[in-house]
Structure 1
Amino acid sequence: MARKQAEEHATVWERPEPAERPALSALSRDRIVRAAIELADAEGLGAVSFRRIAAALDAGPMRLYGYLSTKEELFDLMVDAVYAEIVPAHTVTSGWRERLSEIAHRTREAALRHDWLVDLLGGRPNIGPNGLAFHEASLAALEEAPGFEHVDTMMDAVGAVHGYVLGAVRAEVTERRAERATGMDEQHWQQANGAYMTRMLATGAYPILARVVEDASHPDPGTAFTTRLEAVLDGIEARFRTA
């Protein structure tokens, strides 16, 4: 009885899977999560339901509840599966800047492959094994770097990088979603709103914005991400690193 109660209250990371019955189609948490990710990649997070996943796996929806108690647990497992794509199995990158930059770029790439990911990031950290590996790798990049001996300094630096990455990829994903929803890319959006912007800027009320429109280079998203990430890393180095 005590063992049964312990299993009922265990987190999804520790709870054992039910024994599979040979007469039924094989299930596992991994198969359920993979099916959910494929569904979210194709149709968005709103399309993910136990019913749709069960249909994809040729199983009854109620069987899934033997593996997962709630949709929130499913989302946690989906995020953890993507973290496995972000954390490199092996890295030869040296230097704290380079290592944090590698993690940042891999996070962006994963978010663009699975654009639902940005809807599930933020708030409480993912504590699945891959999520923990992600945070461990981020902190380990700073462990022996001069100026980051105090754990709070490490947390501040990693938090600044992750905060930038989350904001940047969320903005990029939102723009891509807008393009899909409207069928209008950035160039067509600018053309559609060009006359209005010209009139507004001609009032003289927005002189700095006028300079941005006329003189800024407007790099592609990948170039902008890299340039701004380097600025964040420069700021971290200037604030925390000692000679």
Structure 2
Amino acid sequence: MTVWDRPEPPTRPVPLDRERIVAAAVALADEGGLEAVSLRKVAARLDAGPMRLYGYISTKEELFDLMVDEVHAEILPEEQPGDWREALSVLAHRTRRTALRHEWLADLLGGRPALGPNALAVTEATLAPLVGRADIDTVMRAVETVSAYFTGAIRREIANLRAERATGLSKLDWQRALGPHVTKMLATGRFPALAEAVHDGTDVDAEASFTTGLDWVLDAVAAKLTRPQA
């Protein structure tokens, strides 16, 4: 039985329910990452005994499942775009913005499918615009491909943000600090393609890079959807 199927225990003198528990856990994770979340710390924030929480949540993994589902409500758009490409683009960008608000979400994306009601609604919103445009296996592969792209891009962006905070160096500061080493290595002539990228490539911000990559992935999906079926 999943945590969503299991009924909550009756109310006791100190008001407690899964909604309050999850809200406290999300706040802790927003402040200090997943490592800041434990049933003991959540109970302390709610002024409740740790054992009280076990009537609502059995394990920390269940708590993480509930947290992921809670923030999936921020991903789901109020209105579903009619065009499949716009629908997938909106969901990808909303996932990125949600992960930037709740950086710990990046650590939990890409694993087993989330099965809470909000996460299932996001999955439905992702699949629905594509169903009927190709066979269901093609639709599934298309969704997996788009998801793999934005999950990887989001994780990379957040890893860079964490590195900046850990080192105190912005991207530009880091480039300046490592510049002499890179210049020395490129001068060896062993890395001509990399040299061209460094000297002639255009540096763009994370959002522009994300949008461009997403557009290219959606172009590839469009080619598969318009291919005549055998």
TM-score range, shorter chain: over 0.9
Measured against aligned partners, the alpha-carbon deviations of 1:131-173 in whole angstroms (never above 9, x if no partner) come to 111111100021243xx2x110110111110000000000000
Partner Cα distance (2:121, 2:139) in 1: 16
How far has the Cα of 1:240 moved from its partner? Answer: 2.9
How far has the Cα of 1:237 moved from its partner? Answer: 1.1
User: What percent of counterpart residues are identical?
Assistant: 57
Partner Cα distance (1:141, 1:114) in 2: 27
- 2:66 paired with 1:74: no
- 2:143 paired with 1:158: yes
Aligned residue number for residue 13 of structure 1 = 4
- 2:89 paired with 1:104: no
- 2:110 paired with 1:119: no
The one-letter code sitting in structure 2 at the alignment partner of 1:27 is L
Structure 2 alignment gaps of length 5 or more: none
The one-letter code sitting in structure 2 at the alignment partner of 1:77 is L
Give 3-state SS (helix, strand or coil) of 2:78's partner.
coil
- 2:53 paired with 1:55: no
Q: 1:131 aligns with which of 108, 119, 133?
A: 119
How far has the Cα of 1:215 moved from its partner? Answer: 1.0
Partner Cα distance (1:188, 1:240) in 2: 44
Give 3-state SS (helix, strand or coil) of 1:67's partner.
coil
Give 3-state SS (helix, strand or coil) of 1:115's partner.
coil
Runs of 4+ in 1 over 4 A off after TM superposition: none
Measured against aligned partners, the alpha-carbon deviations of 1:109-130 in whole angstroms (never above 9, x if no partner) come to 0111111011112221011111
How far has the Cα of 1:239 moved from its partner? Answer: 2.6
- 2:194 paired with 1:209: yes
Aligned residue number for residue 21 of structure 2 = 32
Partner Cα distance (1:84, 1:94) in 2: 20
Give 3-state SS (helix, strand or coil) of 1:205's partner.
coil
Q: 1:178 aligns with which of 129, 147, 163?
A: 163
Partner Cα distance (1:83, 1:89) in 2: 13
Measured against aligned partners, the alpha-carbon deviations of 1:74-99 in whole angstroms (never above 9, x if no partner) come to 000000111111011323x2311111
The one-letter code sitting in structure 2 at the alignment partner of 1:14 is D
How far has the Cα of 1:105 moved from its partner? Answer: 0.3
The one-letter code sitting in structure 2 at the alignment partner of 1:179 is E
Q: 2:128 aligns with which of 140, 145, 156?
A: 140
RMSD of equivalent CA atoms: 1.1
- 2:213 paired with 1:228: yes
Which of 166-175 and 214-223 deviates more?
Answer: 214-223
TM-score with structure 2 setting the length:
0.96
The one-letter code sitting in structure 2 at the alignment partner of 1:12 is V
The one-letter code sitting in structure 2 at the alignment partner of 1:117 is L
